[in-house]
Chains A and B, each alone.
Chain A
Amino acid sequence: MNKRRQFLLNTTALAASSALPLGVRAQTPIKVGVLHPVTGFLAYSGNLSRLGATMAIEDINKAGGIKSLGGARLQALLGDAQSQPQAGVAEVEKMNEAGVSAVVGAYASAICLATTQAAAKYNLPHIVDVGVADQIVERGLKNTFRFGPGYKTVTEASIAQLHVLNTVAGKPAKTVMIVHEESLFGTGTANLLSQQLPALGLEVKEVIKHANPTRDFSNIVLRIKAVNPDILIPANYYNEYALLVRTLRQQGVQPKAIYSVLGGAASSYKFVKEFADAANGVLDVNHWFNPKDKRAWALKKRVDAMPDQFFTYEVYMNYTALHLLADAIERARSAKREDILRSLESSKWSGHVMPYGPTQFVNGQNIGAAPLMMQVQKNDIKVVLPREYRESEPVFPWKA
């Protein structure tokens, strides 16, 4: 190439680049805070959440980054909330100092309550990945957006679906017992269930609260045995759930249904693999991907191919949350916090794998978000309700 042509090429490139916005010219990466409890008692879920988020960032960057910003790449700033709200807040402060454009996280309700508030001080957009407590989006924080459903929506859906299930089967269930963990998620869910189930003709015989961790479920199972409810509703995290179901099996306690709300075997491939016998028949109303969407199955295949990883809701909820953020930045054509906030407020994003329809935030809550009901059948998880997503007919009452 001769000198004249080289000069022309260089000056053209310079002229073109100076006409573009700053972000495009520099193509500086857009920093995104990825905040989860990757240590402490929530570490298992936190790590899966982080996996989903980092997979999404990798995919977004591989697909050319944020195109409206000249292919700017997303750069993850990983934070560890250590399963404690105050540690989550400290991470938000650090992320703010580091100049992140938004934060995605922080899995548990109690942590999300604290981190969204900390982020609000800096007008920092915070997409809540899971955190189901409804207070998260009920405090009027303009920076907080939750893509998934809150426990009010999930609990109401679970009550409505339980009613359908029971009515179709000829109302074999009349009594219910609730076993829940003691934090915001378990207590809130149990309170809502206790208030609303009696209106459907289901008597709540007893509500048992337990600590995290609970080392032995023998006594709780003894009480379940004494009460002998038709339906047992557990609302707790994985470790306690596994111990509870195993102890039920050991003591030969078999209600007409184990009907979990947010956290049951029917939403965990890991549980189904490890406790195949105990898991079969368990019903669960939980976050779940759209089983009719081929992209969800392709994503599952990728996660299944990783050693010791399972395609759990933590993975795809975070994968989706990061894509939601990328879409907002894309449409905002800016990595500035106030522009991203405006863009999220008006989001109509529908390119996700969840059964939510087009996104629409009202006071920070995606109003289309809804759970599905799954059941473990023949060592696999099948969507049984609602009908439009159904993969298999529900079996109720369950006979072991």
Chain B
Amino acid sequence: MFEFGIVFSAILNGLTQGAVYALIALGLTLIYGVLHIINFAHGAALMMALYGVYFLQRSFGLDPYVSLVVMVPLMFAAGYAAYRWVIGRASHGKDENILLVTLGLAIVLENLALFLWKSDTRTIETGWTYKMVPIGPALLPLPKVLAFAGALAVAAVLLFFIKKSDLGRAIRACAKERQGARLVGIDVEHVFAMSFGIGLACLGAAACFLLPAYYVNPTVGNGFVLVAFTIVVLGGMGSFAGALAGGLLIGVVESLGGLWFGESLGQMGIFLIFIAVLLFRPQGLFKA
């Protein structure tokens, strides 16, 4: 049995790791909730965003958090363009086509990264990489505390935006009833592209919070995307609050599971919860 300080630290570690999962899942749940498509390119897009943050730091000396002002709009624009001119066009109105297009995009992006930047694992060191924040008996790395705060802030902004803004209302309308939305004059294609853009913008933010504590290579996204899909189903497809709660829950379960059962077996907890939710609450923890 571990002493309280270690269990407490493990819970906090889980929460901070879960916050990053949640950020990645927020984008995914928005794309799923509105477009009803499973974006297989989500991991590859995260990888591209991580490279973006890396090169901004290396080439222009930009701090990863300052990179937010570049990466969020850049990823939004990339997402908007990708949907408007590639995914939307190739779908021909069929969801299964979109599935294949995003899968194709993922393969293209991963291999493009491999070609351009090789398979080399890259990391960044900043002045505050080793700064620690004491919380009770636990010591948390500053980048992880900031990632936690960032995830909460992004989730709050997204929730507010979806609830209160005109575009948010249009997004919700499209998610509920595409044809109806079209009939009342909503430019559905534009709303879809905006949703895809916002989904990727979340990844831009996630990349800025993630890189100071992690690394980037062409396959880095794969490690996160499976967990993100699990969180989306767990939290309720299309639910932001669900993605946030699901991310934090998965982070804590993974962390405590790792502490008690070892890092390999610890992952089992995530999928046991996942199966339990599918059996007893298939709509997810929160309503979409």
Contact = CB atoms under 8 A, between A and B. Distances in A.
22 contacts: A39-B119, A43-B218, A43-B219, A208-B263, A209-B262, A210-B262, A210-B264, A211-B267, A214-B263, A215-B214, A216-B13, A218-B13, A218-B255, A222-B10, A225-B6, A239-B215, A242-B123, A246-B129, A252-B132, A252-B139, A274-B123, A275-B123
B192 to A, nearest CB: 31
Contacts of A242: 121, 123, 215
Contact of B6 (A208, A216, A222): A222
B223 interface: yes
A46 B217 CA distance: 14
A170 interface: no
B66 interface: no
A394 to B, nearest CB: 26
Nearest to A83: B219
B114 interface: yes
Contacts of B163: none
A45 to B, nearest CB: 9
B139 A215 contact: no
B259 A308 contact: no
A275 B125 contact: yes
Nearest to A215: B223
Contact of B119 (A38, A182, A250, A251): A38
B3 A219 contact: no
Given A219-B13, A242-B215, 20 more contacts: A44-B217, A47-B119, A208-B262, A209-B264, A210-B264, A211-B264, A215-B17, A218-B9, A222-B6, A222-B9, A226-B6, A238-B121, A242-B123, A243-B215, A247-B141, A250-B129, A250-B132, A252-B132, A274-B125, A275-B125
B125 A209 contact: no
A229 to B, nearest CB: 15
Interface of A: 38-41, 43-44, 46-47, 182, 208-211, 213-216, 218-220, 222-223, 225-226, 238-239, 242-243, 246-247, 249-252, 274-275, 277, 308
Contact of A215 (B6, B224, B264): B224
A216 B17 contact: yes
Interface in B261-278: 262-264, 266-267
Contacts of B6: 222-223, 225-226
A20 to B, nearest CB: 43
Nearest to A38: B119
B145 to A, nearest CB: 12
B264 A218 contact: no
B169 interface: no
A226 to B, nearest CB: 5
Contacts of A43: 114, 119, 217-219
B130 A250 contact: yes
A222 B125 contact: no
A275 B129 CA distance: 11
B121 to A, nearest CB: 5
Interface string B1-41: 01100100110010001000000000000000000000000
B215 to A, nearest CB: 6
Contacts of A243: 214-215
B263 A219 contact: yes
Interface in B207-258: 214-215, 217-219, 223-224, 255, 258
A31 to B, nearest CB: 25
A46 B219 CA distance: 14
Contacts of A220: 258, 263
A44 B259 contact: no
Given A39-B114, A216-B17, A223 B259 contact: yes
Nearest to A237: B121
Contacts of B217: 43-44, 239
B128 to A, nearest CB: 11
Contacts of A252: 132, 139
